[in-house]
């Protein structure tokens, strides 16, 4: 059974700092890995999707990497801003499955 773990559960950083969020998964047979952002009381917004054949994806100040063999992904946020404050969720789509398996998220607070 696929299990997804995100560490740390919470993170507080000063504005302008570069930061890395971690995601690990137990079954490396995946189609893709997706990073989401969730604001309080809101739904999930897709940030980046990395296919199993890819090593990284970039969108603006965000860069996500994937090391399938070791079961790890990182989300790098450059020059953090208070508006980046949210919960970030990692989810994987395991081969043969139609749905995602989610981690429990990292709650990020960027201090002005």
Partner 1 sequence: NAGVTQTPKFRVLKTGQSMTLLCAQDMNHEYMYWYRQDPGMGLRLIHYSVGEGTTAKGEVPDGYNVSRLKKQNFLLGLESAAPSQTSVYFCASRPRGKDQPQHFGDGTRLSIL
Binding site for partner 1 (CB under 8 A): 4, 9, 31-32, 34, 36, 41-46, 49, 51, 89, 91, 93, 98-100, 102-105
Which residue's CB is nearer to partner 1, number 18 or number 45?
45
Shortest Cβ distance from residue 65 to partner 1 (Å)?
Answer: 17
Tokens for 63?
């860069």
Distance CA 94, CA 103 (A): 13
Which residue's CB is nearer to partner 1, number 45 or number 81?
45
Which residue's CB is nearer to partner 1, number 80 or number 94?
94
Q: Are 42 and 33 in contact (CB under 8 A)?
A: no
Q: Bridge-partner residues for 4, per DSSP?
A: 25
Shortest Cβ distance from residue 41 to partner 1 (Å)?
Answer: 8
Beta strand 10-14 pairing with 106-111: parallel
């Amino acid at each position: 059974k696929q299990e997804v773990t995100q560490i740390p559960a919470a993170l507080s950083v000063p504005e302008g700092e570069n930061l890395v969020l971690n995601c690990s998964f137990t079954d490396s047979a995946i189609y893709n890995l997706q990073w989401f952002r969730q604001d309080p009381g809101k739904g999930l917004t897709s940030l980046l999707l990395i296919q199993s054949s890819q090593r990284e994806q970039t969108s603006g100040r965000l860069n996500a990497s994937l090391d399938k063999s070791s079961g790890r992904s990182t989300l790098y946020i450059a020059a953090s801003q208070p508006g980046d404050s949210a919960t970030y969720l990692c989810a994987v789509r395991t081969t043969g499955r139609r749905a995602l398996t989610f981690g429990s998220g990292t709650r990020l607070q960027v201090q002005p």
